[in-house]
Amino acid sequence: MASKARLNRQETKRIARVRANLRKGNRSGKARIYFHVSGRHLYAQVLDDVAGKTLLTCSTLDKAVQTGGKKSFTNKEFSAKLAETLVGKMQAANLKLDAGYVFDRGAKLYHGRVKSFADTLREKGVSI
């Protein structure tokens, strides 16, 4: 059985590898959309790495995303709702949807919830 410390080291390596590739491919200074999955909730942020600021944040903790009395909000349905809410907040904050963003998936593989989130963003007009 794998030790918890070894698994944490592997995850840290994956995150560093993904971020290094993002930095390599993002020489023009585009904003970054970060997607995170925890045990019960999903989180998304729009970050400006040049200025070092968080432009927007959105999660399934927001009342606009939650429906019903569920304990866990981490399935594909809620990732799509989170993407729609994020696009609404981006429009309210006057951020251009077609400005070009870099999608940061962290250590997660690009399938399931992550893919659903990214596809919904693209459908709503965000260029990633």
Which pLDDT tens digit goes with each residue over 7-23?
999 989 988 888 888 87
**Residue length of the chain:** 128
Weakest-pLDDT range from 38-42, 72-76, 94-98, 112-116: 72-76
- Please list the alpha-helical segments (H only) found in the chain: 4-25, 76-92, 113-123
Question: What's the whole-model pTM score?
Answer: 0.84
Q: Is 35 left (phi over 0), alpha (psi -120 to 50) or beta?
A: beta
Q: What is the pLDDT of residue 1?
A: 61
102's CB contacts (< 8 A; 6+ apart) are 22, 25, 26, 30, 31, 32, 33, 128
Q: What value does the mean pLDDT take over residues 45-68? A: 87
Q: What value does the mean pLDDT take over residues 66-83? A: 81
Q: What is the pLDDT of residue 24?
A: 81
Asked if 90 and 63 touch (Cβ cutoff 8 Å), the reply is no
